[in-house]
Amino acid sequence: MSLVKRISLPKISDPRGNLTFIEGQRHIPFEIRRVYYLYDVPAESERGGHAHRNLTQLLIAVSGSFDVLLDDGKSRETVTLNKPYEGLLIDCFVWREMKNFSSGSVCMVLASRVYEADDYIRDYQDFMRTVRKE
Ligand code: TYD
d(CA 69, CA 4): 10
**Is pLDDT above 70 for 97?**
yes
Q: Can you tell me which atom of ligand 1 is nearest the CA of 50?
A: 6
- Average pLDDT value for residue range 114-121: 98
Using alpha carbons, select from 66, 72, 52, 61 the residue that is nearest to residue 4: 72
pLDDT of residue 6: 98
Using alpha carbons, select from 107, 112, 94 the residue that is nearest to residue 67: 107
- Average pLDDT value for residue range 15-20: 98
27 close to ligand 1 (CB < 6 Angstrom): no
pLDDT in tens, 38-71: 999 999 999 999 999 999 999 999 999 999 999 9
Q: What is the homologous superfamily of the domain 4-10+26-133 according to CATH?
A: Jelly Rolls (2.60.120.10)
Tell me which DSSP letter residue 10 carries.
P
pLDDT of residue 133: 85
The domain locations on the chain are 4-10+26-133
Q: Which residue has the higher pLDDT, 134 or 16?
A: 16
How many angstroms is it from 116 CA to the middle of ligand 1? 10
pLDDT of residue 2: 85
Average pLDDT value for the chain: 97
**Is pLDDT above 70 for 1?**
no
38 close to ligand 1 (CB < 6 Angstrom): yes
97 close to ligand 1 (CB < 6 Angstrom): no
